[in-house]
């Protein structure tokens, strides 16, 4: 399976989401990093951005990471959707990781909070409340018959939990249910993120929030997303693709 070009899509649909938001691949090759491995692996990191998203003074950024190591049966796709550092709109994070000869896929999704949820209940309701019905419905769709597998994945590495919201979700999907359930959950989280981006002052940015250092907090949050102590994905990537490529990919996620 060849690596898609800048206008093509993997499962998570980064190019389609970028198109809907009016984002473009960063020019001059600066938005594309090709990944290679001694194990005959390949992949890419792509960055789409725009300083005026949908005609508003809103700088939005998408980072799409894809990595395939055929000899290991490994195919990982990650998508980060970053709103501006000064905004309170959450960041979108999605990942698919097929296993067992691509018969089963793990899908994880989250909207990373930009403020302390414990002291901002209005933010909780505005940002995450509309996701409740979709998550409740997915919890009732547990199926384990043959290839028709759909089940919540409850074990999340502890150090990744510190970056997550209580609405972080991960499910295991068999090919029999992959198309229907993956797209339903993915659509719910992506649509929620797009709605919040479009809301302007009617959204979380219009709330009176307890968050004194939003830009500084966001810088630390993005550093945490690229920290090997928080997420072993980067440790694995370094062992497969080497120091230079991994450090370059981490710089995309940090926003360097």
Question: Within this chain, do residues 151 and 207 fall inside the same structural domain, yes or no?
Answer: yes
Mean pLDDT throughout 98-123? 81
Q: What is the pTM of this model?
A: 0.85
Return the number of other C-beta atoms located less than 10 Å from residue 141's C-beta. 15
- Checking if the pLDDT of 82 tops 90, the result is yes
Give the pLDDT of residue 153.
Answer: 60
- Checking if the pLDDT of 195 tops 80, the result is yes
Question: Within this chain, do residues 241 and 187 fall inside the same structural domain, yes or no?
Answer: no
Say what percent of the chain tops pLDDT 90: 30
- Checking if the pLDDT of 3 tops 60, the result is no
Domain total in the chain: 2
Q: How far apart are CA 127 and CA 136, in angstroms?
A: 16
Mean pLDDT throughout 77-90? 92
* Least confident window among 5-9, 54-58, 131-135, 212-216: 5-9
Assign residue 190 the CATH number of its domain: 3.40.1500.20
Mean pLDDT throughout 165-180? 72
- Checking if the pLDDT of 158 tops 70, the result is no
Residues 21, 15 contacting (CB under 8 angstroms): no
Question: Within this chain, do residues 212 and 230 fall inside the same structural domain, yes or no?
Answer: no
Question: Within this chain, do residues 183 and 101 fall inside the same structural domain, yes or no?
Answer: yes
Does residue 172 fall inside a structural domain?
A: yes
Phi, psi dihedrals of residue 100, rounded to the nearest 5°: 50, 65
What residues make up the domain containing 197?
92-221
The helix, strand and coil proportions of the chain, stated in percent and rounded to the nearest 5, come to 40, 25, 35
Question: Within this chain, do residues 78 and 61 fall inside the same structural domain, yes or no?
Answer: yes
Token couple for 126: 């505005």
End-to-end CA distance of the chain, in Å?
31
Does residue 87 fall inside a structural domain?
A: no
121: left (phi over 0), alpha (psi -120 to 50) or beta: alpha
Question: Within this chain, do residues 103 and 203 fall inside the same structural domain, yes or no?
Answer: yes
Say what percent of the chain tops pLDDT 70: 79
Q: 128 vs 6, which has greater pLDDT? A: 128
* Strand runs labelled E in the chain: 24-25, 32-36, 42-50, 60-69, 74-82, 91-99, 104-112, 143-145, 148-152, 169-174
Question: Within this chain, do residues 249 and 209 fall inside the same structural domain, yes or no?
Answer: no
What pLDDT, in 10s, does the model give residues 11-53?
678 888 898 888 999 887 788 898 888 877 788 999 999 888 7
Question: Within this chain, do residues 133 and 245 fall inside the same structural domain, yes or no?
Answer: no
Question: Within this chain, do residues 217 and 232 fall inside the same structural domain, yes or no?
Answer: no
Question: Within this chain, do residues 116 and 155 fall inside the same structural domain, yes or no?
Answer: yes
- Checking if the pLDDT of 122 tops 70, the result is yes
Mean pLDDT throughout 129-138? 84
Q: How far apart are CA 32 and CA 189, in angstroms?
A: 25
Does residue 238 fall inside a structural domain?
A: yes
Q: 41 vs 225, which has greater pLDDT? A: 225
Question: Within this chain, do residues 213 and 235 fall inside the same structural domain, yes or no?
Answer: no
Q: How far apart are CA 121 and CA 189, in angstroms?
A: 20
Helix (H) or strand (E) holding 185: helix 183-199
């Amino acid at each position: 399976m060849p690596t898609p070009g800048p206008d093509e899509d993997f499962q998570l649909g980064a190019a389609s989401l970028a198109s809907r938001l009016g984002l473009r691949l960063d020019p001059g090759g600066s938005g594309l990093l090709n990944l290679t491995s001694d194990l005959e692996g390949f992949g890419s990191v792509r960055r789409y951005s725009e300083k005026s998203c949908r005609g508003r003074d809103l700088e939005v950024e998408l980072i799409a990471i894809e990595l395939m190591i055929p000899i290991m049966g490994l195919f990982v796709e990650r998508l980060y959707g970053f709103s501006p550092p000064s905004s309170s709109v959450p960041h979108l994070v999605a990942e698919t990781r097929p296993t067992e000869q691509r018969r089963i896929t793990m899908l994880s999704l989250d909207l990373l909070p930009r403020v302390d949820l414990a002291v901002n209940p209005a933010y909780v309701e505005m940002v995450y409340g509309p996701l409740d019905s979709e998550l409740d419905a997915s919890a009732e769709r547990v199926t384990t018959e043959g290839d028709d597998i759909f089940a919540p994945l409850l074990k999340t590495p502890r150090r990744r939990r510190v970056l997550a919201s209580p609405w972080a979700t991960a499910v295991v999907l068999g090919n029999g249910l992959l198309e229907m359930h993956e797209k339903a959950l993915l659509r719910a989280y992506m649509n929620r993120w797009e709605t919040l981006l479009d809301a302007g002052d009617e959204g979380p940015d219009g709330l009176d929030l307890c968050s004194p250092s939003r830009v500084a907090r966001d810088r630390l949050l993005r550093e945490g997303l690229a920290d090997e102590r928080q997420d072993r994905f980067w440790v694995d990537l370094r062992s497969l693709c080497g120091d230079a490529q991994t450090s370059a990919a981490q710089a995309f996620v940090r926003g360097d």
